[in-house]
Structure 1
Amino acid sequence: MPVSRTAVVPVEEIFALRWAVLRTGLPRETAVYPEDVRPGTFHIAAYDESGAVQGCGTFFPDPLPGEAAPAYRFRGMGSAPEVRGRGFGAAALTAGLRECAARGAGLVWCNGRTSATGFYQHLGFTLTGEEFTVEPSGPHYVFVTKDLDRQ
């Protein structure tokens, strides 16, 4: 089942997937991010052919410490377990990168799960710094890209 489209959507469109995939077994409110209501925040959904959201991400203006370039950060990247490896996460992320570039970002970064290192590196991100822990998600690295025009 291929990705049929991506879109900038209201948070309500991606919330169920975000909660199910990234906060499995935790209360609903753990999937509400303070950035969801910040100015400049946008959410990306990647849809399958039936119109179901199978991939998502949330992007918001946030400077990367030590960098002068205007930056966006993302969090809440995820894809439904039954479609992992089929391009839904990559589609959501690349659509988000293009939208960040259109909004004037010079770089995009995240605190990404260590287990997703290969995914981020495959999409042109560089791992920076030391591994750290984010509760309740576990070990993370900072990933950064200035390659915002990925297709």
Structure 2
Amino acid sequence: MIITETPYQDVLNMRRQVMYPGKDTEFVKLPDDEQGLHIGAYENGELISVMSIFLHGRDVQFRKLATRNDMQGKGFASALMQWLIDYANDMKLNRLWCNARTNATDFYKKFGYEETDEHFSQNGYEYIVMERKFQFQN
């Protein structure tokens, strides 16, 4: 498996295919996508899983973690999550956070994320803000 920066159009295609199959590509674009870093996990040259990360000071928000339907449960999203945690440690960031679909909270908890009190609904899904904080000594 190789984890690397991924072409934006490939990320959009994966988001649409996995998260919103009935929608067009325009629907899956985020308003701030051009400020994001788009990361993908590849196996044998094929894109399997993607995430987009956005730096806000010493915090990083990751959005739209998606894995190809036929490859889910094989560790690709976990590898991306571990890559992000390693990145946060290397950069000595304060916090990682996401808007998690409520049916996916157990996945994030495995990586040390905790639920916050922030909940909302969007596009027919229920979400909760989850975060993982880091503490580094100066």
Give the structure-2-normalised TM-score: 0.86
- For residues 87-142 of structure 1, give each alpha carbon's deviation from its aligned partner in whole angstroms, at most 9, with x where no partner exists: 111112222333344455211101110011111001111111153212x1500111
Structure 1 pair 35/71, CA: closer, same or farther in 2 (3 Å)?
same
Q: How many residues align?
A: 135
Structure 1 pair 147/106, CA: closer, same or farther in 2 (3 Å)?
closer
Q: Give 5+ residue unaligned stretches, structure 2.
A: none
- Runs (4+) of structure 1 exceeding 6 A deviation are none
Q: Give 5+ residue unaligned stretches, structure 1.
A: 64-69
Partner Cα distance (1:137, 1:78) in 2: 17
Partner Cα distance (1:11, 1:54) in 2: 14
Partner Cα distance (2:121, 2:47) in 1: 29
Partner Cα distance (1:129, 1:44) in 2: 28
Matches within 5 A, 1:28-43: 28-38=25-35, 41-43=36-38
Task: Tell me the SS of whatever aligns to 1:13.
Answer: helix
Give the structure-1-normalised TM-score: 0.80
Aligned Cα root-mean-square deviation (Å): 2.0
The range that moved more, 99-108 or 139-148, is 99-108
Partner Cα distance (1:34, 1:96) in 2: 22
Give the equivalent residue in structure 2 for 1:67: none
